[in-house]
Amino acid sequence: MRRAYDYGYSAPFSVLWYAVADDTPCTIDGKQKTFTPGTIVIVDELYGSKPNKPAEGLRWSPGDIARAIKEQERHFDRPVRPGPADNSIYDGDSKIAEEMAVHGVEWCRSNKAPGSRKIGWQQIRQKFNAMLTETQEEPGLVITNKCQMLWRNLTGLPRDTNNLDDVDTKSIDHDADTLRYIVLDKPKTAKMIPLQGY
């Protein structure tokens, strides 16, 4: 299992935990499933917003966020490895990645290559579409019921009216950005299925 992260302070932060399916049956939301190898399973989330204010961040320090991540990971039955994070935690004079590492939470850089935003959204759509076929042939994307904020924010995410291949960056897109980092990552490094209890 791996974790991915989109930074936020006055805006929300988002952490998603995920695994990538092989051909082993697993239990998702109480049902036995076998997915096409390479299918990404979003297992759990930590969304840092104020109660009833999904667009307003908690203003937690990197150390506070790292401690909350480690606390949530105590309930997992497997180790969690670093996954992609918002590159702003490394850039400039930022010490965010260093502060989180002090608490045992490390990350990898996300793919911010030219065109990666559009490619990421396209891959998310393709992976969801793969799950709609009667016989899944391509790797898909599964989000468990534990990820209520991701479900809520993703389903209401508006497109950019000036660029229909992208989303409106003024919308609540923090957990969707985290999801985009995941699909652009190399999933073979996160092969940790079966999952139980999700």
Confidence band, pLDDT 50/70/90 cuts, at residue 58: very high
The reply to whether 82 falls in a domain is yes
The reply to whether 198 falls in a domain is no
* Cα 192 from Cα 68, distance rounded (Å): 22
Report which of residues 108 and 121 the model is more confident about.
108
The reply to whether 197 falls in a domain is no
Q: Take residue 154 and report the two structure tokens written for it.
A: 């993703």
* Cα 145 from Cα 148, distance rounded (Å): 6
The reply to whether 113 falls in a domain is yes
Q: Which pLDDT score, from 0 to 100, does residue 179 have? A: 95
Q: Which pLDDT score, from 0 to 100, does residue 22 have? A: 85
| Residue 159 half-sphere exposure toward CB, CA atoms < 13 A | 10
Mean pLDDT for the chain overall = 87
The reply to whether 195 falls in a domain is no
Q: Which pLDDT score, from 0 to 100, does residue 85 have? A: 97
Residue 198 has pLDDT above 60, yes or no: no
* Cα 65 from Cα 46, distance rounded (Å): 9
For residue 71, with 0-12 CB atoms within 10 Å meaning exposed, 13-18 middle and 19 or more buried, which class applies?
exposed
Q: CA 9 from chain center: how many Å? A: 18
Confidence band, pLDDT 50/70/90 cuts, at residue 166: low
Residue type, 132: L
Question: What is each CA distance from 47 to 57, 113, 129, 147, 159, in whole angstroms?
Answer: 9, 26, 26, 9, 22
Residue 188 has pLDDT above 60, yes or no: no
Residue 195 three-state SS: coil
Average pLDDT over residues 13-22: 94
CB 142 within 8 A of CB 39: yes
The reply to whether 97 falls in a domain is yes
Residue 6 three-state SS: strand
Q: Which pLDDT score, from 0 to 100, does residue 135 have? A: 84
SS3 content of the chain, % helix, strand, coil (to 5): 30, 25, 45
**High-pLDDT (> 90) share of the chain, %:** 61
The reply to whether 196 falls in a domain is no
Q: Take residue 2 and report the two structure tokens written for it.
A: 């791996």
Q: Which pLDDT score, from 0 to 100, does residue 150 have? A: 94
Instruction: Note the pTM of the prediction, 2 decimals.
Output: 0.88
**CATH number of the domain encompassing residue 71:** 3.30.420.280
The reply to whether 149 falls in a domain is yes
Report which of residues 136 and 74 the model is more confident about.
74
Domain extent at residue 174: 2-190
Domain count within the chain: 1
Residue 192 has pLDDT above 50, yes or no: no
Q: Which pLDDT score, from 0 to 100, does residue 189 have? A: 41
Q: Which pLDDT score, from 0 to 100, does residue 93 have? A: 80
Average pLDDT over residues 149-170: 73
Average pLDDT over residues 146-172: 75
**High-pLDDT (> 70) share of the chain, %:** 87
